[in-house]
Homo-oligomer: A and B are copies of this chain.
Amino acid sequence: MVSSSLRLPSLTSLLFPATTRYPATLRRTVCLRNRPLSGFATAPSGTASPETKSSEVDRLRSDRAVTPRSQDFNAWYLDVIASAELADYGPVRGTMVIRPYGYAIWEAIQDYLNVKFKETGHSNMYFPQFIPYSFIEKEASHVEGFSPELALVTVGGGKELEEKLVVRPTSETIVNHMFTQWIHSYRDLPLMINQWANVTRWEMRTKPFIRTLEFLWQEGHTAHATPEEAEKEAKQMIEIYTRFAFEQTAIPVIPGRKSKLETFAGADITYTIEAMMGDRKALQAGTSHNLGQNFSRAFGTQFADENGERQHVWQTSWAVSTRFVGGIIMTHGDDTGLMLPPKIAPIQVVIVPIWKKDTEKTGVLSAASSVKEALQTAGVRVKLDDTDQRTPGWKFNFWEMKGIPLRIEIGPRDVSSNSVVVSRRDVPGKAGKVFGISMEPSTLVAYVKEKLDEIQTSLLEKALSFRDSNIVDVNSYAELKDAISSGKWARGPWSASDADEQRVKEETGATIRCFPFEQTQGTKTCLMTGNPAEEVAIFAKSY
């Protein structure tokens, strides 16, 4: 019934037929608050506006509602992306068009991280995306990890190229090629840069935001004089990602270290932040690699130390990508659609003016404009939806589906009483609705800011409690298997071999997501071998 395809008409065309035919008052009686969007199916195709040919009406009908999350998580995810106009499929298999609303979330991610990167001494720059094929081959485990996923340019300007060019899947190789030319002495270190760029990986199974042939990311690259400095940097960056996830996106990620099998191709150590999605699958949301001297040895990136000895630099790299947008959707969304944490929401407050008679319109719109003005001046990201082509009910549904944290309703009675109605996206129905909040700017601004903070906190707490109630401490392989097969994450002591880890993967579908930084004290016994273990690991199925 519900299409899982992203090939949707824009939401503006999900609309009821042309406004000229149905005056606002009539439409309002058809489209009530919280009336399901399927109510629009009553529009007879005969009277539909020109663009709703019968085949399109079918499409409109089939795309009207979001599949309930509990019914089919994957269909729900794709429906939300389509209905909230976050992304669309590109013409090439596995590529994604990031639409303005989805891109605005990415911009919010960029704005925050870009400042943090600069505060910690990194400069932005830009490396070419075409990398000579021979570069990829220089670091043995790197080529092994990436060669199955490469896109190759073989023709340029109408001619077959002498050397195939790799469209960057990541930039360690070209970065090291350049670092080798820029780094001469210990005085050139540390060298700490970042780039915001597109990358290409020829993935077979794709999913919007989560895994696409091309995606957007930032990749940090640093070179240091000592292994201690590199290790400190790698840890610092995973800490910045962790704080970003918790404080901005309300995603309670678990930071930790990857197992050897899951370490980045070319790194000594990979740190990760692992997030639990609404279907309890794990999402690797960001990584920071201590590259040791692997790339500097492969590319001869050396410096003269204070004693005049030539040394290879110690390096890190770290990245988060547009995948984070997928993480936000799958952490907070519900049956109604997207739910955005206020700090990352492109629109934090939507104002919906309500009027029946034309005589009411002026007063209501004027009050709504004043409220918008007051909030905007106070730094709140606010949208006034004053179009008269849509009913208030339609707008309520639309903006709820778009995940706007707060809605302010202003009707004629509110204007009389100089107050507004405020509804929380995260508390459905009457419980989330408060009447009679004063329109007086200082009162309203304070109230709205407080509510936004409350929502931010509440989303994090909800996600945290969901996460913790779905992690099971296990002490044997049998317990691990039980936990995984019931859809949960398993946390248990682990000191077994790579082969054992591989066996868990094959038998349960779960992998070690990380050895979390936060470890319980006390002696531990490996759940698989019964040998002493230093650490607990977290196992889960993942995206």
Contact = CB atoms under 8 A, between A and B. Distances in A.
Nearest to A179: B10
B99 A125 contact: yes
A129 B96 CA distance: 10
Interface stretch (A180-188, A313-321, A473-481, A522-530): A180-188
Given A178-B88, A204-B157, A128 B12 contact: no
Interface size class of A (residues with CB under 8 A): 35 or more
A240 interface: no
Number of copies: 2
A347 to B, nearest CB: 12
Interface string A124-154: 1111111110010000000000011111111
B152 A155 contact: yes
A234 to B, nearest CB: 21
A214 B152 contact: no
A103 interface: yes
A46 interface: no
A184 B9 contact: yes
Contacts of A303: 51
A423 interface: no
Contacts of A9: 181-182, 184
A448 interface: no
A12 B132 contact: no
B157 A148 contact: yes
A44 interface: no
Contact of A100 (B125, B213, B306): B125
A90 B20 CA distance: 59
Contacts of A91: 128, 131-132, 135, 174, 177
Contact of A198 (B49, B106, B131, B197): B197
B214 A128 contact: yes
Interface in A276-309: 303-304, 306, 308-309
A369 interface: no
Given A51-B304, A90-B174, A126 B98 contact: yes
A116 to B, nearest CB: 16
A73 interface: no
Contact of A51 (B100, B123, B182, B185): B185
Contacts of A33: none
B153 A157 contact: no
A179 to B, nearest CB: 10
Nearest to A194: B100
A85 B523 CA distance: 55
14 contacts: A7-B181, A10-B184, A12-B188, A51-B185, A92-B131, A97-B178, A100-B193, A102-B125, A103-B123, A150-B157, A154-B155, A156-B202, A157-B202, A198-B198
Given A151-B153, A153-B154, 8 more contacts: A51-B303, A91-B128, A92-B131, A97-B125, A97-B127, A150-B157, A151-B156, A152-B156
Interface of A: 7, 9-10, 12-13, 15, 18, 20, 49-51, 56, 88, 90-92, 95-100, 102-104, 106-107, 123-132, 135, 147-158, 164-165, 167, 174, 177-178, 181-185, 187-188, 193, 197-198, 200, 202-204, 213-214, 216, 303-304, 306, 308-310, 389
